Amino acid sequence: MLKKGSKLYSILTGTCPRCQGDYMYVKKNPFDLWNNLKMHDHCKSCGLRYQIEPSFFFGAMYVSYGLAVAIGIAVFVIVMLLGSGLLESFFWIGGILFILMPYITRWSRNIYINFFIDYDPKAAHKAPENGQSK
């Protein structure tokens, strides 16, 4: 399930969606908040330019909202099944979302770029042309 070539691999590892041979982010640690969303300009393996067009990743905000809602609902259901009250579930949701927010922002970008770029097993073997996507 989590093997190279699947979209899930690219989403969870933060690798290039085309070749899955290079890490998209400058820093691997999502809790380095000053550098959390800093990305390389292009993939060193296949030359894919990550910023496909100006302001490309603004669309990831919608994905981030959906992820946060899904996680919030899951936390609510779990907390309510454990017998807690409504107010306590509110604090659990807020706390979990606060802790996971660096991951959610990266996952949303990873999911969003994977909507538009498919995996190409031959892409890693192609030499990049001056850092431009093909």
What's the Cα-to-Cα distance from 25 to each of 52, 68, 79, 107, rounded to whole Å?
15, 21, 34, 12
Q: Is the pTM of this model over 0.85?
A: no
For the CA atoms of 101, 105, 106, 112, the dihedral, rounded to the nearest 10 degrees, stands at 150
* Unique residue bearing structure tokens 């970008």: 109
- Taking 70 as the pLDDT cut, the residues of the chain under it are 1, 124-134
Domain positions in the chain: 7-125
| Residue 125: per-residue pLDDT | 63
